[in-house]
Structure 1
Amino acid sequence: MQRRNERFVERLPLVLRRPWQAYFLTTCLCLTALAIRSAAEIAMPMGYPFVSFFPAVILSSFLFGVRPGIYAGLLCGLLSWYFFIPPRMGFSFQPSVILALAFYGAVVAIDVALIHFLQKANFNLAVERERSRVLAENRELLFHELQHRVSNNLQVVAAMLSLQRRHVDHDLARRALDDASARLALVGRISRALYNPSGEGQNIRAFLTTLTADVVEASGRGDISMAVEAPEDLILQPDVAVPLALIVTEAVSNAIEHGLPHRGGSIHVGLDASEEGIALHITDDGNGISSDFDHNGATNLGLRISNALAGQLNGRFSLKPSAQGGAIARLDLPARL
């Protein structure tokens, strides 16, 4: 309703198909004011000859513009002068009458001028609003183009690493290049999915569901059951969601590669938000890890990346054996995020 009112106000003054229509409607408003003033004659005390004519002048100026407003001011002035200023049914030129008409004319001129300047300012505001809308659309288009180019560039770099892999004979180096290529491609996909021009985040539950499904699909494993639990209305800002998504990817990939290398199983990703902060846990039912495993001293690149990303967020990452078997990776983030 408010938006409709804004659009109606932006259209004022109304531009009718034929100019005489505006003057005809203005005349109808003035005659309506005359009828109202005549009907109120019994209950109204002496004087107040212009009381019902001011609204007619204001409405005419508001709806049809300056010229119909001036016309309404002249016509209403003549009607009130002829019918309600003594001696009635005539045009008296007594000093008191001339003074009253002068005040009436001054009030009408101020009303018409104010309405005209307000409508002019409103028109300029509408023009600026439309210009801002166009600029916003252009910004969004350029942003998507930038994101597309950045993602494509990351894909190109990932492809170059894959090509370079063919010229490397050392198995460890080839695997490092494969991991770097996969991580670059992942960062490109995450950035494209999470960032938008307004700076707003996205629903983390839907994003994690799509992300983990992509990781399982990329592993080529059809025997892995994936489940994601997170609050439906939880929105995280991109500067938090991107490293969080990278940690989830590393944890799920690690569970598939080391926890479930030769058999099927299930992986559960859960995210809880409270006043204390955000707790993310990735649990699998795989081979598990030893109770004295130290993830801080681990040489695995994925764990080192997860620890570094958690530190950037002022959080804490841990990897421990699960009570039901398997392993559980946990990320705790402070509430200010």
Structure 2
Amino acid sequence: MNKGGAKTHLIERLPLLPDQPLLAVASTTLLIAVAFVLRLIADPVLPPGFPFVTFFPAVILASALFGSRMGVFAGVACGLLAWYCFIGDRNSFDLGWSGIVAMAFYTAVVTTDVAIIHWMQRANRKLAHERELSRTLAETRQLLFHELQHRVSNNLQVAAGLISLQKRQVRDEDARAALDEAARRLGLIGRISRQLYDAGGSARRMRDFLEPLCNDVIEASGRPGISCNVIVDDDALLSADAAIPLALIVAEAMANAIEHGFAGRDHGVIDVELSRDGGSQVRIEIRDDGHGLPEGFDIDASDSLGLRIARTLAGQLDGSFELVRGTGATARLLIPA
């Protein structure tokens, strides 16, 4: 804990000994005794007019450390000691006009000091209570948020399972394939939905977002021989609103690579690379070492629903999505930085 935190923690514990009044009285009495002894020691060298010089600190310390009641106790005891020993005729309670003025001044200062310290401690207790309440509310919100994510994820998984069950009653192959795709997408969204959002709605580092996403896609594919490498040279922040479109684009590109690029193969490697493209754009490339794009492939003429979804979502991000040839195939997404 830093020094500021330690000081704050100590202040929040004041006043001390609230449940041990006898110990508080004994400690306050000790402060009064020390103040009196110091005043006696300093009396030969002090000029007239300083009867309360060591008593004011004792009253302030008693109020700050043990509360306003001990401050009042210290104020009364110190006032009586000063009155009897150091004002007017020594060792007497007789007061002249100057003594009355001195005691009135002392009473006003002590009353003000005790009152200010009492108000400060009451405000500090209220602040500590509100801070604890805010912390509890934040923890509750976090728990509710994660529970909501968990339930949404489970519901999507159930919906995907229901679609898969419904597929058994469908004879048409095109319809069965469409239901398979719908179930796969719902299941994938269900798997990744738990890490799409942050409870505070804050932006996230894209590396922290892409790595678990890619692992979820690989796990959902049921192809343990396929591995994914996330390469981030220059990280970027991802806003909460862009999380779902980006997740779906990357997931569609990886699913396309797994389904078509690695068709007939048990093993393969997918690289997901994040880089800056001229500083104004973020480039995300999903590369595989699979079979590559077929000859004459044209993304604009493709009837693949997944590719159309990816291009539509890229447009929502004010970006672009394309497939390019390489050793295998490369899906390239460009979005504003």
In the alignment, which residue of structure 2 is the partner of 1:276? 280
CA distance in 1, matches of 2:276, 2:198: 23
1:178 is aligned to 2:180: yes
- 1:310 Cα deviation after fit: 1.0
Normalization by structure 2: what TM-score? 0.89
Q: How does 1:224-263 map to 2 (within 5 A)?
A: 224-230=226-232, 235-263=237-265
Aligned length: 333
Paired AA for residue 8 in structure 2: E
Contact 1:205–1:231, Cα closer than 8 Å, also in 2: no
Partner of residue 76, structure 1:
78
Unaligned runs of 5+ in 2: none
Look up the equivalent residue of 1:260 and give its one-letter code: F
1:224/1:266 contact within 8 Å kept: yes
Structure 1 residue ranges, 4+ long, deviating more than 6 angstroms after superposition: none
Pairwise CA distance, 1:98: 0.4
CA separation of 1:291 and 1:334: change in aligned 2, threshold 3 A: farther
How do 1:66-145 and structure 2 match up within 5 A?
A: 66-145=68-147
Quote the residue 1:306 is aligned against: 310
**Cα displacement (A) at 1:234:** 5.2
What are the superposed Cα offsets for residues 77-100 of structure 1, whole Å, 9 maximum, x if unpaired?
Answer: 122223333443433411111011
The structure-2 alpha-carbon separation of the partners of 1:221 and 1:157, relative to structure 1 and needing over 3 Å to count, comes to closer
Gaps of 5+ in 1: none
Does the alignment pair 1:159 with 2:156?
no
State TM-score, norm by structure 1.
0.89
Q: What CA distance in whole angstroms lies between the structure 2 residues aligned with 1:107 and 1:54?
A: 8
Given that 1:266 and 1:284 are in contact with CA atoms closer than 8 Å, whether structure 2 keeps it comes out as yes
Mapped partners of 2:287, 2:131: distance in 1: 51
Amino acid at match of 1:196: D
Contact 2:230 2:273 in 1 (8 A): yes
**C-alpha displacement at 1:112, in angstroms?**
1.0
1:150 corresponds to: 152
* CA shift for structure 1 position 334: 0.9
Match of 2:270 among 267, 274, 277: 267
> Counterpart of 2:285 in 1: which secondary structure?
strand
Asked if the contact 1:22/1:68 (under 8 Å) is kept, the reply is yes
CA deviation profile, 1:194-222 (whole Å, cap 9, x unmatched): 32322235554344333323323433434
Root mean square deviation, CA, Å: 2.5
SS of structure 2 residue aligned to 1:299: coil
2:220 match: 218
Contact 2:31 2:58 in 1 (8 A): yes
Q: Report the CA distance between 1:287 and its aligned residue.
A: 2.5
Identify if the C-alpha distance between structure 1 residues 170 and 24 changes in structure 2 by more than 3 Å, giving closer, same or farther: same
